Amino acid sequence: MANTIQQFNVPASYRDSKLKWNGWGYKDSYFELTKNNNVKFAGDKYEICGSTMSQVRPWIEKNLGGDVNWKVPSQNLAECKVPVALVNQPFIDALRAAGLSYSNAPAHRLVRAHGQTMHDMMTLRYGSFARVPDLVVWPRSESDVTRIVELANTHNVVIIPIGGGTSVSHGVECPADEPRAICSLDMALMDKIVWIDRANLLCRAEAGIVGGVLEKSLNDLGYTCGHEPDSIEFSTLGGWVSTRASGMKKNKYGNIEDLLVHVNFVTSCGLIQKQCQVPRISCGPDLHQVILGSEGTMGVITEVTIKIFPLPEVKRYGSLVFPDIEHGVNFFREVAAKRCQPASLRLVDNQQFVMGQSMKLDDQTVWEKFKASLSKMYLTSWKGFKLDEMVAVTCVFEGSADEVDFQERTLYDIAGRHKGIVGGEANGRYGYRLTFAIAYLRDLAMDFGVLGESFETSVPWDKVLNLCRNVKNLIAKEGAKHGVQFGMLNSCRVTQVYDSGAAVYFYFGFNSRGLKDPMHVYESIESAARDEIIACGGSISHHHGIGKLRKAWVDTTVGPISISVMGAIKNELDPKNIFANNNIIDTPPSKL
């Protein structure tokens, strides 16, 4: 039986009006096939909008068995079956009495029931969720959050905070067996900069502010926060802290834990906040480290103070080509040992390099195409590089003109010792230019039955090559074992450089044509790959977090005593298990 829709003072939300309900990003931005079956990017929000990539379809056909005549389009939003809401009427009445905005409309509940995993997208396109939030609440201030948490404790209602909805860990997914009403706490209205301290280079902002909005606001004043994850357009400041996020320019500005100075955290027991704002304090264990990566299991992040930096005088791109991945990784190791990494440094393997070449825009000039042809001839005929082995590095340099010049000279000198060849600024710029648009390609691929995803890890330097090789070999074997009939996307990228190791991304995808249960195949391959990562000395996650997706590997990553400590802190801060999203560690079954 359908619920009676109950709403009060529902705000206009860009999540509901501007973003796709069953895919990545903006509704008006997407890859499409033209009448000539070429791939084109529609919209007006990205540099490549309106451009055609005529080599993408042939690459997909050759490597993944794609067929433009075999489509598996998504169901319509109206066809989605949304579970009937579990109504806790006293809680709803208390929200209204407090003047707090809420809604239990099916559409509001559905779009806050998921993140961006392949499982999420497959469920939205072809199935239904067993459980979604029963109610959405929009706080406008920290005092609103405090009141909502108090009411949830009084009326025994579960709270699952949501920021940008970009989770790739099932972090905002509702536990299907939760007997209590579940409230999605949407932080979208807490999106303001509270203050900027120019003297101490600090910025205080509400947790719901979207990363891209925060960065533009700072840029307009001559500053940057330096944190630039691939999801920056949609992920939020609070989400970054909640998942221990990392950005592409970590080398210069640090990860989120390096940028964090102060955080307000509303728990069932009250507000956690330091009583002073200093660059460092020696006063027992740092509770910031408990809040970082807590993934909504203990409370709600409401305000965050981070470091900011003057905008760099110069930003320059660069690229390099190496004969194979071993030379590329050894180059990275020397860069790390000498601590001369630029703001960003990325190494892609051969398959990803070749795929990237297929995504070149058709609007290149004749001269640009001629230069590209000469470059290819130079690498293969004169330098002896093999097209099926060469790899590429893209770089971003930031600083003063003198600093950037020095960084470039130093980096390229080291590259030369590892047989690296400078590829020019244009190639580097294009590589980063694609960063924010490439995420949209998955939606088009799914229309033609191609499932694809990425996952990441961190690993010591002496195990990087072995891990890359073993995980890719395992993915290939698992694909064959599970009956994948066509070629696979099976590639990796070394994406962050540390003194003692690196972060590595893996990308895999396959054509689901001929498979009885594509999602089972996908999840089986991914699970086996994660087992192999652990066996090869990697971690379960570098920056995506755990959620519910990676819980099976937490014990082998941090050990049982650490899990007990996390559970004890959780029980102390949330004795009624109000924050029962069941992320990271298992919690006892809830009681009505």
Confidence at 382, pLDDT banded by 50, 70, 90: low
Tokens linked to 304: 């965050």
Does the annotation list 233 as a binding residue?
Answer: yes
Residue 574 annotated in ligand binding: no
Asked whether the predicted pLDDT for residue 551 surpasses 50, the reply is yes
Locus of tokens 């070449």:
357
Higher pLDDT, 181 or 586: 181
Task: Give the confidence band of 217 by pLDDT, cuts at 50, 70, 90.
Answer: very high
Is 389 or 364 the better-scoring residue by pLDDT? 389
> What's the CA gap between 508 and 277, in Å, rounded?
44
Three-state secondary structure readout of 388-435: CCCEEEEEEEEECHHHHHHHHHHHHHHHHHCCCEECCHHHHHHHHHCC
End-to-end CA, the chain: 22
Q: How far is it, in rounded angstroms, from Cα 112 to Cα 378?
A: 51
Distance between CA 318 and CA 82 in Å, rounded? 48
For residue 140, give its domain range: 7-186
Residue 586 within any structural domain of the chain: no
Q: Cα Rg for the chain, rounded, in angstroms?
A: 24
**pLDDT (0 to 100) of residue 378:** 56
Q: Looking at 162, 186, 210, which one is the last position of a domain?
A: 186
* Nearest of 437, 410, 217, 428 to residue 315 by alpha carbon: 428
Q: Any known ligand binding at 163?
A: yes
pLDDT tens across 321-353, in order? 999 999 999 999 999 999 999 999 999 999 999
Pair 267, 304 in one domain: yes
- Is 461 within a domain? no
Residue given tokens 């910025």 in the structure block? 203
Among 231, 239, 247, residue whose Cα is nearest residue 19: 231
560 is in an annotated binding site: no
CA 421, CA 223: separation in Å to the nearest integer? 34
318 with 306, same domain: the answer is no
What is residue 550's three-state secondary structure?
A: coil
Domain shared by 296 and 380, yes or no: no
- Same domain (yes/no): 131, 160: yes
293, 351: one domain: no
Task: Report the alpha-carbon distance of residue 166 to residue 170 in Å, rounded.
Answer: 10
- Evaluate whether 430 touches 387 at the Cβ level (below 8 Å): no
Q: How far apart are CA 525 and CA 551, in angstroms?
A: 17
Q: Is 533 annotated as a binding residue?
A: no
Which of 186, 209, 229 terminates a domain? The answer is 186
- Do the annotations mark residue 143 as ligand-binding? no
CA dihedral 95, 97, 102, 106 (to 10 degrees): 90
Give the span between the Cα atoms of 409 and 388, in whole angstroms. 29
Q: What is the pLDDT of residues 99-151, one digit of tens each?
A: 999 999 999 999 999 999 999 999 999 999 999 999 999 999 999 999 999 99
321 within domain boundaries: yes
Copy the structure tokens of residue 585.
């560690």
Task: Examine residue 548 and state whether it is found in any structural domain, yes or no.
Answer: no
The 10s digit of each residue's pLDDT in 47-73 is 899 999 999 999 999 999 989 889 999
Can you name the residues that pair with 202 across neighbouring β-strands?
197, 307
Identify the DSSP state of 380: I
* pLDDT, average across residues 415-439: 90
State yes or no: is 430 an active-site residue: no
CATH number, domain containing residue 132: 3.30.43.10
Residue 526 lies in a domain: no
318 is known to lie in a ligand binding site: no
Percent of the chain past pLDDT 90, that is, above it, reads 87
117 assigned binding-site residue: no
* 13 annotated to a ligand binding site: no
User: Does residue 296 have a known ligand-binding role?
Assistant: yes
At 145-174, the pLDDT tens digits run 999 999 999 999 999 999 999 999 999 999
CA-wise closest residue to 463 among 508, 490, 494: 494
Query: Is residue 577, in this structure, part of any structural domain at all?
Result: no
Q: Is 506 annotated as a binding residue?
A: no
Report the share of the chain in percent with pLDDT over 70.
96
Choosing from 256, 284, 310, the residue where a domain stops is 310
* Other C-beta atoms lying within 10 Å of the C-beta of residue 362: 13
Let me know if residue 587 belongs to a domain.
Answer: no
According to the annotation, is 344 in a ligand binding site?
no
Residue 366: predicted pLDDT: 42
As a whole number of angstroms, the distance between CA 486 and CA 445 comes to: 14
- Taking the C-alpha atoms of residue 452 and residue 486, their distance in angstroms, rounded to an integer, is 14
Average pLDDT, the chain: 94
Same domain, 303 and 338: no
Same domain, 236 and 165: no
pLDDT for the residue numbered 367: 39
Does residue 290 have a pLDDT over 60?
yes
State whether 174 and 202 are in the same domain.
Answer: no
Over residues 185-198, mean pLDDT? 98
524 marked ligand binding residue: no
Report yes or no on 166 lying in a domain: yes
Residue 210's CATH number: 3.30.465.10
Phi, psi dihedral angles at 292 (to 5 degrees): -60, 125
Taking residue 5's Cβ as centre, other Cβ atoms within 10 Å add up to 11
Catalytic option among 430, 440, 505, 507: 505
128 in a known ligand binding site = no
pTM over 0.85: yes
Residue 334 and residue 292 share a domain: no
369 contact partners, CB below 8 Å, separation of at least 6: none
Residue 125 is labelled as binding a ligand: no
CA-nearest of 286, 262, 265, 285 to 275 is 262
236 belongs to an annotated ligand binding site: yes
Query: Comparing C-alpha atoms, which of 409, 406, 433 is closest to residue 422?
Result: 409
50 and 31 within one domain: yes
Consult the annotation and say whether 381 binds a ligand: no
CATH number of the domain at 335, please. 3.30.70.3450
Domains in the chain, number:
3
Do 173 and 213 fall into the same domain? no
Residue 246 known to bind ligand: yes
Residues 280 and 421 in one domain: no
Q: What is the structure's pLDDT at 357?
A: 86
Q: Which of 430, 454, 455 is nearest to 358 (CA)?
A: 430
534 marked among binding-site residues = no
